[in-house]
Structure 1
Amino acid sequence: MEGPKATPGEERFGLLAQIHWRVAGPTMIEFAGRELDTSSFFQNKSFGLFGWEPEFTALDGKKYIWRKHVNRTTLELKGQPATVAAEYNGRNVGLVGKAREQPSLEIFPPFEGMADEIMVTFIYVEKRRIT
């Protein structure tokens, strides 16, 4: 069932996903018609220099890993660290590297088709890292 068509100049918004944060028990993510138990969706076995590096299997069947670096976070195709699907550059006051006021998440062209999945997993991973 389709919703109403947007007229030119009008923006349409819809629910992309819902994250049900839990203190006791696993957080659940509703996305793409699935209910994902984060304790099994994200394989929490990897720890890098900057902490937790969660892995997950995307809808395309490939494994990806979120890696934290000094001033950025990257989403890499597992086993192919040179293949970066997305990169988050946080705010940087310029002590290490170039000053940057606005954080940004860049999704690279071969992976634009999974932008929704990248956004949802990014939000979950970053929120979990800062809490």
Structure 2
Amino acid sequence: MRFYLSTRKPWNSVYTTEDGQVIYKTTTPWKICERKTSIERIVPNKEVGDMRDEFAHLAEVDHGVFSSSQIRYGGQDLVTREFFRKGAWSWRGRRKGRMFTGPDGIEYRWKLGVHVPELCLNDSIDTPVARYHRSSLGILSPAHAAYLEVFPIGEHMVDLIVVTFVYIERLRQEEEAQRPRGGGGS
């Protein structure tokens, strides 16, 4: 299952299926010192012939500037430093990811890759659950919009995957922006 994003910013985007059906909408109004992302999910229309999309509130991610971030999802207020467990340090001096326990009692890990995050089972072989693909202009590979790919093993918790992805990708991009750029010395 793939969700194509309308922008390169998963926290400010419309997520559509391969056939163009809008499923999720994320919005993050620009405000100084306040960064809240609202995540909405499509609600099926009950009236035959009504083609208007209606959305229902799914979650909210409060990206903390001076305090820990919070995720409001499923009637719970989840403090991210308690919901996610940080992984061990990698040989490059970066955290290997953020772990959380899913609704099925299984532990999952968002790997914060250099360019994209990937959700895996926290097992010995890193079984893939979801993967983000950046957009491509079609130079080295076929052109495509950015998309979040959810493998069959994760389809039972797609809403949670989208919510945690929005948080993780923002975190990953902020960490990427803070990393020193290589090359170009004197």
What TM-score range do you get, normalising by the shorter chain? Answer: 0.7 to 0.9
TM-score of the aligned structures, taking structure 1 as reference length: 0.80
> 2:119·2:130 contact (CA, 8 Å) conserved in 1?
yes
> 2:59·2:72 contact (CA, 8 Å) conserved in 1?
yes
> 1:50·1:68 contact (CA, 8 Å) conserved in 2?
no
Matched, 1:109 2:109: no
Q: 1:100 to 1:65 in 2, by over 3 A?
A: farther
Q: 1:50 to 1:39 in 2, by over 3 A?
A: same
Match of 2:110 in 1: 66
Instruction: Give the letter for the 2:127 counterpart.
Output: T
Q: Distance in 2 between matches of 1:114 and 1:123?
A: 15
Q: Distance in 2 between matches of 1:5 and 1:101?
A: 30
Q: 1:125 to 1:66 in 2, by over 3 A?
A: same
Match of 2:162 in 1: 119
Structure 1 unmatched runs, 5+: none
The sequence identity of aligned pairs, in percent, is: 30
Q: Distance in 1 between matches of 2:61 and 2:99?
A: 18
SS across alignment from 2:145: coil
CA deviation map 1:16-75 (0-9, x unaligned): 101112212211110011110001111123344694411111121111011244654321
TM-score of the aligned structures, taking structure 2 as reference length: 0.59
- Structure showing greater radius of gyration is 2
Q: 1:47 to 1:11 in 2, by over 3 A?
A: farther
Q: Distance in 2 between matches of 1:75 and 1:124?
A: 13
Q: 1:103 to 1:50 in 2, by over 3 A?
A: farther
Q: 1:12 to 1:47 in 2, by over 3 A?
A: farther
> 2:117·2:172 contact (CA, 8 Å) conserved in 1?
no
> 2:117·2:169 contact (CA, 8 Å) conserved in 1?
no
Q: 1:70 to 1:21 in 2, by over 3 A?
A: closer
Q: 1:46 to 1:101 in 2, by over 3 A?
A: farther
Q: Distance in 1 between matches of 2:66 and 2:115?
A: 31
Q: 1:101 to 1:71 in 2, by over 3 A?
A: farther
Q: Distance in 2 between matches of 1:71 and 1:24?
A: 26
Q: Distance in 2 between matches of 1:113 and 1:4?
A: 18
SS across alignment from 1:25: coil
